[in-house]
Amino acid sequence: MAWTRDQMAARAATELRDGFYVNLGIGIPTLVANYIPTGMQVTLQSENGMLGMGPFPTEDEIDADLINAGKQTITELASSSYFSSADSFAMIRGGHIDLSILGAMQVAANGDLANWMVPGKMVKGMGGAMDLVAGVKRVVVVMEHSEKSGAPKLLTACTLPLTGQKVVDLVVTELGVFSVDRGKSPLTLLELAPDVTLDEIRARTGAPFEVAKAAA
Amino acid sequence: MASKLQKTAADALAGVLFDGMTIMAGGFGLCGIPENLIAAIRAAGVKDLTVVSNNCGVDDFGLGILLAGGQIRKMISSYVGENKLFAELYLSGQLELEFNPQGTLAERIRAGGAGIPAFFTKTGVGTLVAEGKEVREFDGELYVMERGLTADLSIVKAYRGDHEGNLVYRRTARNFNPMMATAGKVTIAEVEELCVTGQLDKDNIHTPGIYVDRIFKGAVFEKRIEQRTVRKPEEVSSLGKVGA
């Protein structure tokens, strides 16, 4: 059985380490915050200018001046700090953030990532994604394995405009987990979701991959 | 020296606006936007504007009202996904758009205000963003050259300010406001609380008054919220165990 969104988030959360400063993207990556192991200290960065992001507020705590990068209302912690967007991206670009977990439209075998634009269709913008993948030490993608049409999202080469070249280290989908050797090919399949077969994941993956012993 | 203090947004904008000008507007989403100044620019009717702002408001609030008024010719932003009218105008060719990665946008503005004409960044190498720009190798890595950015006018919003133009922002409403305050030929600040000079803690001024030409207390702050997300009081946290 394929993993649920929450199970994918829980798997991505095993990439967290004590003391990490982490930036979580919108969607499934946000759920990763629910699976930080007890006793582990992880500081969440929000690129609009905050370190130490707290939980959503109660109705009484809502503050229009306190939002995350997804424009959701949030709260602060005793350890929180606020800063400008320039300072925020100095942290990101300067390599001070340990881990970025974000969504993707396509990932290539060499670690190329596309997640911001569909030509002629989507006019939204890249936000902070290009800065995050260029500057953060380790980049984990959490995404659906295939498009709604069934087309694979793990490819030999991305067909959509890139967010970054050779930037992805690990990909978690509902079918399994792949590691990426940046700039090289193939991928390595590290884990399969329960009851997902090698044949099934092979049929739905558009990129070459080897199979790690643990997944074989 | 003439006083920086103004009574209203319209007073503060007197003699500053002209068609075809470039305006920087602080804020992230609807958080920390100079809503009084945006409304006054809407009322003034100035047009063919190039607007530099991380986002473009929503359809009926923030910079979205300048779009609706047909006043914006070009936007320089990192993300405009909250605005349906934006997509319509862009896809029909009525609006120019320059997407900048958010950190590159912030740094271009910081550099512009600091007298730095260009800088190199890893962000965007090998993407559409780098097309037509110089790419140079430093220490074995590729970087793309980005230009500093300035504006004819910067409009910013702070929580508190004094008669000298010293500003203090609150929580995540700071965002792009401090850099934009440095990068405008003219910078106008609207504040929620206008303090007498000397009242603000001098060790904790976020924007020193030298960058601010005019300041006024905003008449109304709607401070609209885009995504109202809450947890019930009995839940420890719906964002998880963060900080628990």
In DSSP terms, which residues pair with A155 in a beta bridge?
Answer: A108, A206
Residue B208 pLDDT? 98
Residue B236 pLDDT? 59
Q: A33 pLDDT exceeds 60?
A: yes
Exposed e or buried b for every residue in B82-110, given b needs 16+ CB within 10 A?
Answer: bbebbbebbeeeebebebbbbbbbbbbbb
Which ipTM score applies to this complex? 0.96
Of A38, A76, A93, the CB nearest to B122: A93
* Greater model confidence, A46 or B238: A46
Provide the whole-model pTM. 0.96
Residue B243 pLDDT? 37
Interval A167-208: pLDDT, tens:
999 999 999 999 999 999 999 999 999 999 999 999 999 999
Of the candidates B191, B184, B185, B188, the one whose C-alpha atom is nearest the C-alpha of residue B168 is B191
Q: Do B123 and A130 touch (CB under 8 A)?
A: yes
Name A82's Cβ contacts closer than 8 Å, sequence gap at least 6: A49, A50, B169, B171, B172, B174
- The SS3 call for residue B187 is strand
Interval A61-84: pLDDT, tens:
999 999 999 999 999 999 999 999
Contact residues on chain B for A77, CB-CB shorter than 8 A:
242-243
Averaged pLDDT for residues A92-108: 98
Q: Do B229 and A73 touch (CB under 8 A)?
A: yes
Rounded mean pLDDT for each run of 10 residues along chain B, 244 residues in total: 94 98 98 98 98 95 96 96 85 93 98 98 98 98 98 98 98 98 98 97 98 98 95 65 38
